[in-house]
Amino acid sequence: MLSAPMQTRVHALRRLRELGGGSFAVEVDGPIPATLPGQFYMLRTEKRWPVLLPRPFSLYDRAADGSWGSFLVKGVGEGTRAILDLAPGEGLVLNGPLGQPFPRDIDNPICVAGGVGLAPFLLLAREYKAQGRNLRLLFGGRNRAALSGLEDVEPVARVFASTDDGSHGFHGMVTALLDDLIARGEVKAGEVVFCCGPDPMMHAVAALCEKRGLRCFLSLETYMACGYGVCNGCTVKVQGPRFKGWPYSRTCMEGPVYEACELVH
Ligand X SMILES: Cc1cc2nc3c(=O)[nH]c(=O)nc-3n(C[C@H](O)[C@H](O)[C@H](O)COP(=O)(O)OP(=O)(O)OC[C@H]3O[C@@H](n4cnc5c(N)ncnc54)[C@H](O)[C@@H]3O)c2cc1C
Residue ranges in 25-54 that form contacts with ligand FES under rule CB under 6 A: none
User: What whole-number distance in Å separates Cα of residue 102 and Cα of residue 39?
Assistant: 8
In whole angstroms, the minimum distance from the beta carbon of 227 to ligand FES comes to 5
Closer residue to ligand FMN in complex, CB, 36/53:
53
Among ligand X, ligand FMN, ligand FES, none, residue 58 binds (CB under 5-8 Å by kind): ligand X
Among ligand X, another protein, ligand FES, none, residue 247 binds (CB under 5-8 Å by kind): another protein
Q: Is 36 left (phi over 0), alpha (psi -120 to 50) or beta?
A: beta
* Among the listed residues 21, 22, 56, 69, the single contact to ligand X using CB under 6 A: 56
Closer residue to ligand FES in complex, CB, 193/224:
224
Region binding ligand X by CB under 6 A among candidate stretches 2-10, 14-22, 169-177, 219-227: 219-227
Q: Note the residues at the interface with another protein (CB under 8 A).
A: 1-4, 6-8, 44, 51-54, 95, 222-237, 246-248
What DSSP designation does 98 have?
Answer: E
**How distant, in Å, are the alpha carbons of 29, 93, 134, 208, 236 from that of 123?**
17, 21, 12, 26, 26
Helices (H), the chain: 78-84, 119-130, 150-153, 174-183, 199-212
Residue pair 39/97 in contact by the 8 Å Cβ criterion: yes
Q: How many CA atoms lie within 13 A of 15 on its CB side?
A: 3
Q: Footprint of ligand X on this chain (CB under 6 A)?
A: 40, 51, 55-58, 71-74, 76-80, 116, 119, 221-224, 256
